[in-house]
Amino acid sequence: MSGTTIPRLVDAAAERFGDHEAFVDGDQRWTYAEYRDRIHAAARALMARGIQPGDCVAVWAPNTAEWAVAALGVHCAGATLIPINTRFKGREAGDLLDRTSAKLLFTVTDFLDTDYVALLNDAGAGRGLEETIILRGTIPEGCTSWDGFLEAASTVDDADRADRSAAVDPDDRCHVMFTSGTTGAPKGAMLRHGAVCRAFASWSEVIGLRQDDRYLVVNPFFHAFGLNSGILACLLTGATLIPHPVFDVPAVMARVVEERISMLPGPPAIYQTILNHPDLGDLDLSSLRLAVTGAAPVPVPLIHAMRDTLGFETVITGYGLTEASGIATMCRHDDPPEVISGSSGRAIDDVEVLVVDADGDEMPRGEPGEVVVRGYNVMVGYLDDPDQTAEAVDADGWLHTGDIGVMDADGYLDITDRLKDMFINGGFNVYPAEVEGQLLAHPDIAQVAVVGVPDERLGEVGMAFVVATSGTSPDPTELVAWARTEMANYKAPRRFEVVDALPANASGKVLKYELREQARQVLGA
């Protein structure tokens, strides 16, 4: 797959799996041939609007059939996809639209009582867009319906579309996926067609994804796991993709039964919640076969319960990051539960993973150090940010992940800590520096430091230590509410502590480890 592209995957899937069911979303059920035709129509409609190779087109919407068709249409038109987190507020989404000079936006107006067009308008954002296309929901003035968008497809000959798709090179940029940065501003990791296709061909082979699998994609399409290991992996294998817009345990369990789901990915908490559900014994979940998990340790008893009670044949963990196309290491299907529980697996084929010291020298096996990755899967770089790119990828091509890990004698990696302050809330990476920068916009906050604290449901949540502006007395409850209006919910701290001063060393650097200790005392942990 090293020489392939996403447009070629679309064509190859239709040729290989033609009449096999490709996509199920409510009443929409498409074969792979029908799926291809819809994708090509979207590509022609984009070309009719003057979209050129390399142009950026954004999608800001939940998991739906239209999301996949629009995104793959962008790829087949030779353009670059900009997926936007559905939890972002208008200002956050607008920043990405501006930085990428996105020409078009595909979005919705009725997801979880949220109108994304209204969010942009309220924030005064997105004014550089040439057009906004509404995938689902009411059509605001000045926007275009999805059906209206597709009408223009008839004005472009498919031979011209085919030429455009064929011209896409494996080294061309396919998507820019934004990951929050330690300096505050989200960074746009530029990924290549050939890299993501090759990486997830390897991923699909390791987990054993196959044509007869029915894959419930609960991971959001805007995330590398939902896009690359969901949409692309299904194209690679012929599996049937069933998108799920919002994770809700009863709804997921019902869909497993209704659609005979065999592949169900997610963090460990998903499976534990299913196991604990009172209706578990009343439902036929016997179709379940594959589970891919990560983002948190997987206890050995949970692995046994997933196999013995839920019927999973294969349970696999892995480790990846956006800058590495979403995948770097994986366990293998025949690894024992103790290995799956205690590690993130070993490097995928043709990718190197090492644990190194501060000088870049490899650490002895069993000793902790920074995890570095080198191979075809490493990003091109960060969009318009050569300094951050040089900091992340050294002269020898090693991607410095910022994660601390230990590698055993067999090459299996255990992620033990984070070199940076990042924490994971419900599967989403949260970078305190970014959150701190946003919190400083509040007039009553003079100084702030954010740390991650344990949370039974979400793994970790943010706790903010605040020094008040002179003459003010901020109310922690009001600060929580304000933060939730200003940033994505997973970023917003769940607790605020007003303090006289932040602990700092002689150079003025805030001592986060002291704040973590304070947090433990406050929470009684």
**Nearest residue to 73 via CA among 199, 142, 168:** 168
**Is the model more confident about 396 or about 342?**
396
Where are the strands (E) in 384-431, listed by range? 399-407, 413-418, 423-425, 428-430
**Nearest residue to 239 via CA among 217, 267, 271, 266:** 217
Task: Give the dihedral sign, CA 86/92/94/96.
Answer: negative
Q: What kind of fold does domain 423-523 have according to CATH?
A: GMP Synthetase; Chain A, domain 3 (3.30.300)
Q: Is the per-residue pLDDT at 183 higher than 60?
A: no
CB 499 within 8 A of CB 523: no
d(CA 6, CA 36): 12
What H or E segment, with its residue span, contains residue 313? Answer: none
For residue 157, what are the CA distances in angstroms to 44, 153, 221, 398? 8, 8, 29, 44
Predicted local distance difference test score (pLDDT) of residue 443: 93
For residue 313, what are the CA distances in angstroms to 30, 137, 264, 287, 438? 28, 40, 12, 10, 45
d(CA 470, CA 437): 19
Chain segment 203-236, per-residue pLDDT in tens? 999 999 999 999 999 989 999 989 999 999 999 9
d(CA 239, CA 259): 13
Predicted local distance difference test score (pLDDT) of residue 524: 81
Predicted local distance difference test score (pLDDT) of residue 180: 60
Concatenated DSSP letters of 235-264: HHH-PEEEE-SS--HHHHHHHHHHHT--B-
Q: Is the per-residue pLDDT at 395 higher than 60?
A: yes
**Is the model more confident about 249 or about 256?**
256
CB 370 within 8 A of CB 398: no
Calculate the average pLDDT of the chain: 92
Percent of the chain scoring above 70 in pLDDT = 96
CB 174 within 8 A of CB 193: yes
**Burial (CB count <10 Å: 0-12, 13-18, 19+), residue 376:** middle
* Domain boundaries for CATH 3.40.50.12780 within the chain: 247-418
For residue 324, what are the CA distances in angstroms to 81, 187, 200? 17, 14, 12
What is the average pLDDT across 309-320? Answer: 93
Q: How many CB atoms lie within 10 A of CB 414?
A: 19
Chain segment 77-115, per-residue pLDDT in tens? 999 999 999 989 999 999 999 999 999 999 999 998 899
Torsion angle (degrees, nearest 10) of CA 45, 87, 85, 258:
-70
Amino acid in position 147 = D
Angle of the 6-17 helix axis to the 193-207 helix axis, nearest 10: 40
Q: How many CB atoms lie within 10 A of CB 420?
A: 16
Predicted local distance difference test score (pLDDT) of residue 182: 44
- 224 three-state secondary structure: helix
* Domain boundaries for CATH 3.40.50.980 within the chain: 32-179
Say which range, 157-161, 248-252, 301-305, has the weakest mean pLDDT: 248-252
Q: Is the per-residue pLDDT at 251 higher than 60?
A: yes
* Domain boundaries for CATH 3.30.300.30 within the chain: 423-523
**Burial (CB count <10 Å: 0-12, 13-18, 19+), residue 366:** exposed
Residue-wise burial string across 291-301, b where 16 or more C-beta atoms lie within 10 A, e elsewhere = bbbbbbbbeee
Amino acid in position 133 = I
Concatenated DSSP letters of 79-121: -EEEE--TT--HHHHHHHHHHHT-SEEEEES-BTTB-HHHHHH
Predicted local distance difference test score (pLDDT) of residue 154: 97
d(CA 228, CA 241): 13
pTM: 0.85
Structural class in CATH, domain 247-418: alpha beta
Predicted local distance difference test score (pLDDT) of residue 186: 84
d(CA 70, CA 82): 11
What H or E segment, with its residue span, contains residue 222? Answer: none
The length of the chain is 525
User: Residue 307: phi, psi to the nearest 5?
Assistant: -80, -45
What is the average pLDDT across 481-498? Answer: 95
Say which range, 274-288, 426-440, 453-467, has the weakest mean pLDDT: 426-440
Q: Is the per-residue pLDDT at 417 higher than 70?
A: no
d(CA 216, CA 222): 16
What H or E segment, with its residue span, contains residue 344? Answer: none
d(CA 406, CA 412): 8
What H or E segment, with its residue span, contains residue 211? Answer: none
CATH number of 32-179: 3.40.50.980
What is the average pLDDT across 65-73? Answer: 98
Q: Is the per-residue pLDDT at 32 higher than 80?
A: yes
- Token duo for residue 310: 């839920």
What is the average pLDDT across 291-312? Answer: 87
Predicted local distance difference test score (pLDDT) of residue 266: 83
Q: Is the per-residue pLDDT at 28 higher than 60?
A: yes
For residue 183, what are the CA distances in angstroms to 228, 382, 436? 27, 13, 10
CB 468 within 8 A of CB 446: yes
Amino acid in position 296 = A
Predicted local distance difference test score (pLDDT) of residue 184: 57
Predicted local distance difference test score (pLDDT) of residue 430: 85
**Nearest residue to 252 via CA among 217, 225, 227:** 217
